[in-house]
Structure formats: structure tokens, C-alpha cells
Amino acid sequence: MAVTKKNTTILKNYINGQWIEANTEATLEVPNPATGEILATVPISSKEDVDLAVQAAKEAFATWKNTPVPKRARILFKYHTLLSDSHAELAKLIVEENGKAYNEAFGEVQRGIECVEFAAGAPTLMMGETLSGIAEDIDSEMFRYPLGVVGGITPFNFPMMVPLWMFPLAIACGNTFVLKPSERTPLLANKLVELFTQAGAPPGVLNVVHGAHDVVNGLIEHEDVKAISFVGSQLVAKYVYEKSAAQGKRVQALSGAKNHHIVMPDADMDKAVQHIVSSAYGSAGQRCMACSAVVVVGNNEDFVQALKKKADELIIGNGLDDEVLLTPVIRDSHRSKVLEYIEKGIEEGASLIRDGRVEADQMTGGTFLGPTIFDHVTPEMTIAKDEIFAPVLSLLRAEDLDEGLEYIRKSRYGNGATIYTKDAKAVRKFREEADAGMLGVNVGVPATMAFFPFSGWKDSFYGDLHVNGKDGVNFFTRKKMITSRYDF
């Protein structure tokens, strides 16, 4: 990959209101996936850096937990304004470090801002409950309190939205926070913390430690970290969940996915094709809610041909260019793994009806891969089971809705699933029987908004309380009950 070095500045960590150099010699370059240009160098921080950040967060917690809730919320209102004023700049930064198309990045910024909007409702969200008269002259009240220092570990695919699932609500609830962003997309995290400081957050309330597994393990093992919020791939999510739980920490770990879209024979075919193409190939298929398996019900050859035609027409390129929908995958190492999956699909007998390796060979400069479609995939094949996290779509054939629902049940993952139909009975059956946490009806990416929980099932989520919505508030607070007798 052609590499132009523009800026080899080593990023700093943000600890106790100061930008400080990491205590490490280890670094990684951060290339723009569309051009190979090096945007920055990220330090792979050590456990000592984690300790510094946790100590700062612990000290800040002593004051922050007692800061009146409306005062905390006002910082979030200000943050909301600053983020909104920087909307276009943030979107451009996401495109540069992540590679996704500008309109996708713009939407991601909006999704992130909505999390801040939700968290700004902290005075209402944190209210407790009371019951006068649980017995004669006795009342019961429930109050909510923060936990302490919370650690957040985030993936590369949503450098803005996922950190904003975590720290605004955690901090609004009175916790202090140490964020470990993805080492592959570290730039936006620094911008987010810069704006949060401008919004009036006191030193130590939000800290950022860049790096990889040492930082993750440092957070998990630190006795002063009370909860861990994690989003990333399945093996790491399970590891973080088990290890954090073993340390007695509260943990939520959002994991990988394989999202099935069932296309019923009565569906509006044009719209189904349009939604599936944008869900499967937008962000280069690197979304935890991306459609990666289509269940074609009935012998619907017209749908398959229309899907292939639409995939052929996709404009592939740099996300900053107009009309581009299919952008590069994050790194060459990831593309190599995807190419292995394509080989595996062929080997296991699926029919490759659109081969994205052609564009991978033709397009230079970035880690591009064309839209790929396998037809006649069966649930036992590796490409049907694994999360490939790329613009590779598997078509499974089913006789009826029951068979389609069975495919969903067989999948180890259960993040999202969608049905395309106009039949109310089919919708109801799908709603009752689809074995996944976020369902769509004629919707390509049924991701929930900030006031609802973001809810994966099965191996797509480890923990109890999901991110966002009331689950998020429950995750970031602990409850205290007081029972009072007044018969004196």
C-alpha cells in the first residue's frame, strides 16, 4: 500500500485534564484506509498509564459524585452544542481514520449526539422510587448512586457513536471514566475529550488511555475500576466479560454478529434490494448491524438477479468522494482474512455469483474489496456461521418462513434480524420467534436509538444490562433502599 507520511505525531493520553505522553516505547501507525496516508502514530500504553488514569479518575470521583445532578447535566447540554457545531468536522475525521462514506459518518455523529441528548436527561433518569406505607407508619425509598471509576473499551467501526454510548451517560450518572479507544481509530477520541473539556468537565472526570490489550487488562485488573463497558469482537468480548466478572466487576460486553434478513415472496422487491445492499455494503459491511446473510424465501430468482445488478452498480472508493457507497475495509490484514473466507466459501460449495476480489486486485492505494455475493449457502458452511465483517453477503434459500426462522435460531449470534414483507401475520410470527435482540420490519439497519436499549442476544452480548436507555442508567448506577419507621 502506497504510504505518504503527512503527520507522524505521537498521540498523547488525556489524564487528569492534561495531555501527557504515554509511558511506552511501543507505537502503531494509523493509516487512512482509503489512501494509506499515515494520519498519526498511536502509543500502545502500559499498565502504568492505566494506573495514572484510574488514580486521577478516582480522585475526581470524590467531588464529581457530589456535584448536583442538574449541574452535571448542564455540561452535557454544552457538550451537545459543541458536538453539533463540529458535526461536519467530526464526520470528516471519522472518514479519514475509519474509511466509511461521509454520509455514514455524518449519521454516526448524529447518533452520538443523540446519546448526549439522552444523558442530559440525568435528573429525570436518575430519579429513584418511593412507596409511602409499605407497612403501618413505614415508608420505603430507593435512591440511585454512581459506581465509581468506569472503564470503556471501544472498537474501530464506530469511533464516535460507541464511546458516546458509554461515557456521557456514565458521567451524567456521577461516575468518572477511563476510555480505551480502538488503536485503529484513536484520533476522534482525542477530539471528543477536547470538546468535553471545553464543555466544562473537571479534570479527571474523563480520561483517555490509548493502546491495546495491556490497557484493557490494566483496566480489568485494577481494583479501583468498578465497571467495564466493552464493545468489540466475540472472542475478546467473552474474555473481557469473564475476566472482569471474575474480578467482581459489573460488566457489559457487546460482541459480534451475523444478521439475517428474510425476504418473503410478497416483499416490495425494489425496496428490499435497496435496503439490503445499503445494509450489507455500507461501511464496507463493518457494522455490527450489517446484513450478512439473506434468507430468500421461495424460488425468487428475480430478487437474486436484482440484488446482483445493484451490487454491480455500486460506486467503490474514498468515502470523501460523492456517490461512493462501498469504502475500504479497515486494514490489509483484515482484507487478507476476508479473502481466506471467500476461498473457504468456494471450497465448501457455495456459488460465488459476484466476486469482490476483482476490485481488490484492480483498486490501488487503499484496502478495497468489491461487493461479494455467495448463493446457495447452507447454515453449516463457515461463511454462514462466522462473522466476516466485510462486504461479503451469503444467500441462503428457504422454502418458507419457518425454515428462515430456523436459520436464525441456529446462528450462535443474535444481534439483529429483519423481515421484508407486507404480511402482518408473517411479521407477528417473525417478532415472536426470531431469536435476536433487535428486529427490523422492512428496515435494513434496525439499530435502536439512545433512549432504548441496544440489545444483542446469544453470543452477541455478554452481561445483563445493555447499553443505552434505562438499561444504561441501571448499569451505571447502584441502588440504595431506605426503610423508615415513623411510629415514634
Q: CA–CA separation, 50 vs 42, rounded Å? A: 15
Place of cell 470503556: 152
- CB contact at 8 A, 438 and 455: yes
Q: CA–CA separation, 154 vs 132, rounded Å? A: 43
CA angle 44, 50, 52 (to 5 degrees): 125
CB of 217 to ligand NAD, least distance (A): 6
CA angle 9, 4, 96 (to 5 degrees): 70
Residue 257 binds ligand NAD, judged by CB under 6 A: yes
Using the minimum distance from each CB to ligand NAD, give the nearer residue, 286 or 318.
286
Residue 233 binds ligand NAD, judged by CB under 6 A: yes
CB of 388 to ligand NAD, least distance (A): 10
Q: CA–CA separation, 168 vs 351, rounded Å? A: 46
Return the residues of window 235-254 that contact ligand NAD according to CB under 6 A.
236, 254
Return the residues of window 365-404 that contact ligand NAD according to CB under 6 A.
387, 389
- CB contact at 8 A, 258 and 293: yes
Phi/psi for 42 (5° steps) reads -105, 135
- CB contact at 8 A, 453 and 114: no
Residue 256 binds ligand NAD, judged by CB under 6 A: yes
Question: Is 288 among the catalytic positions?
Answer: yes
**Residue 100 assigned to a binding site:** no
User: For residue 302, with 0-12 CB atoms within 10 Å meaning exposed, 13-18 middle and 19 or more buried, which class applies?
Assistant: exposed
Residue 231 binds ligand NAD, judged by CB under 6 A: yes
CB of 403 to ligand NAD, least distance (A): 26
Position among 180, 210, 261, 397 found at the interface with ligand NAD (CB under 6 A): 180
Phi/psi for 10 (5° steps) reads -85, 125
Residue 195 binds ligand NAD, judged by CB under 6 A: no
Q: Which stretch binds ligand NAD (CB under 6 A): 68-76, 188-196, 212-220, 426-434?
A: 212-220
Q: CA–CA separation, 449 vs 308, rounded Å? A: 31
Q: Which stretch binds ligand NAD (CB under 6 A): 169-177, 229-237, 350-358, 367-375?
A: 229-237
Q: Which stretch binds ligand NAD (CB under 6 A): 26-34, 70-78, 226-234, 370-378?
A: 226-234
Position among 292, 415, 418, 477 found at the interface with ligand NAD (CB under 6 A): 415
Place of cell 488514580: 55
Residue 261 binds ligand NAD, judged by CB under 6 A: no
**Residue 357 assigned to a binding site:** no
For residue 323, give the amino acid letter.
E
Residues near ligand NAD, by CB under 6 A? 153-158, 162, 180, 182-183, 212-213, 216, 231-233, 236, 254-257, 288, 387, 389, 415, 454, 456, 460
Q: Point out the annotated binding site.
A: 156, 180, 183-184, 387
Residue list, annotated binding site for NAD(+): 156, 180, 183-184, 387
The residues annotated as belonging to the active site are 288
